[in-house]
Amino acid sequence: MTLAGQLSIVLAYRRARRTVICRMYLGSTGALPAADRVEEHRGFRFHVYERDGVTAVFWQEGPTVCVLIGDGPPREVVDLAVAKAMAPG
């Protein structure tokens, strides 16, 4: 899949009636609009957006922007994004 002419990766998971989508693309979180809140965990900055029961969490890993989007409770979506960012390799 492409985003603004760049290759991007999209992964989708559905479990227990919840959907989570993870997308990665080359870019910068500096280009994002102001987040509802920003959290910092072990050197990563997580930009959190909440709209209509959906939470999107963006963070930077090198030249890649990662975003995890989920329809579960916001804290669970943020915690999952933090766990993904902290996972080895």
At residue 16, the pLDDT reads 80
pTM (two decimals): 0.86
Q: Are 70 and 21 in contact (CB under 8 A)?
A: yes
- Residue 32 clears pLDDT 70, i.e. is over it: yes
Q: Are 72 and 33 in contact (CB under 8 A)?
A: no
Q: What is the rounded average pLDDT of the residues 16-44?
A: 92
At residue 5, the pLDDT reads 67
Burial, 62: exposed, middle or buried (Cβ in 10 Å; 0-12, 13-18, 19+)? exposed
**In this predicted structure, which of 11-15, 38-42, 62-66, 76-80 has the lowest mean pLDDT?**
11-15
CATH, range 2-86: 3.40.1000.20
CB atoms within 10 A of CB 65: 22
At residue 21, the pLDDT reads 93
> Domain-by-domain residue ranges, the chain?
2-86
pLDDT higher at 14 or 7: 14
